[in-house]
Amino acid sequence: MNQLLGPLGPKRSERASRTDVYFSADVETDGPIPGPFSILSFALVFAGTYDGARFDRPKEYDKVFYRELRPISEDYEEEALRINGLDRGRLLLEGELPSVVMDQAFKWVKDLSGDANPVLVAYPLSFDWTWLYWYFVRFSRDGSPFDYSRCYDIKTALAVKSGLPISQSGRSRLPSNLVSARAHTHHAVDDAIEQAEIFANIFEWEGRGGGNRAT
């Protein structure tokens, strides 16, 4: 049985193949780029579905994949560790192997998506996508569950709907009706859920001059 969409008959299967399944991603690292530096932790949170006509946000953000990983190199930046608060020394001993984690993440995403299309969501997308795509391609036997381009940048969506330039579409520019009530803690699970709520708020928002549309 498909965990998200249920058993699929021919017509429903065809509809599922046109449906996007969104996953809010947050990555905590020990540096700016993958390869020379490492992912220390990441979270993926089920953030809703869209079939081209209807967007559905989850009632609860309780479908979560979270792991802490063993670093893959000796290089790191102290500033990155100060921001995320993770103990890199502990992760060198206790962190899970990236090859194991990325296979597990691939399976979790695909099992939850079923016949629909998984899409990675982030704010901004460029950082989290770069890290996760690199790790999936490098370490997962099956590659990326998001293929090479199934991704959604919340920052771009805000710019388009609000009529702002990208340079003025950061989180600090979010209108009060779009922000999440959750704190930004730099723990991957907390921040992925906060981001999923912002994503849903913006997706449902009609944009400047409009309101929130019913779904």
Say if residues 153 and 124 touch (Cβ distance below 8 Å): yes
Pick the closest to residue 21 from 120, 124, 104, 131 (CA basis): 120
Which pLDDT belongs to residue 184? 83
How many angstroms from the chain centroid is the CA of residue 170?
17
Encode pLDDT of 156-208 as tens digits.
999 999 999 999 999 888 988 999 988 888 899 999 999 999 999 999 998 87
What is the share, in percent, of the chain residues with pLDDT greater than 70?
Answer: 89
Instruction: Give the 3-state secondary structure percentages of the chain, helix then strand then coil, rounded to 5.
Output: 40, 20, 40
Question: How many CA atoms lie less than 13 Å away from 192 in the CB half-sphere?
Answer: 28
Say if residues 23 and 120 touch (Cβ distance below 8 Å): yes
Task: Please name each of the domains of the chain with its CATH number.
Answer: 10-204 (3.30.420.10)
The encoded tokens of residue 131 equal: 């890290």
The encoded tokens of residue 149 equal: 């381009």
Which CA distances in Å does 152 have to 12, 24, 87, 119? 24, 9, 31, 7
Encode pLDDT of 105-135 as tens digits.
999 999 999 999 999 999 999 999 999 999 9
Say if residues 85 and 186 touch (Cβ distance below 8 Å): yes
Distance, CA of 191 to CA of 27 (rounded, Å)? 9
Q: Which residue has the tokens 């192997």?
A: 97
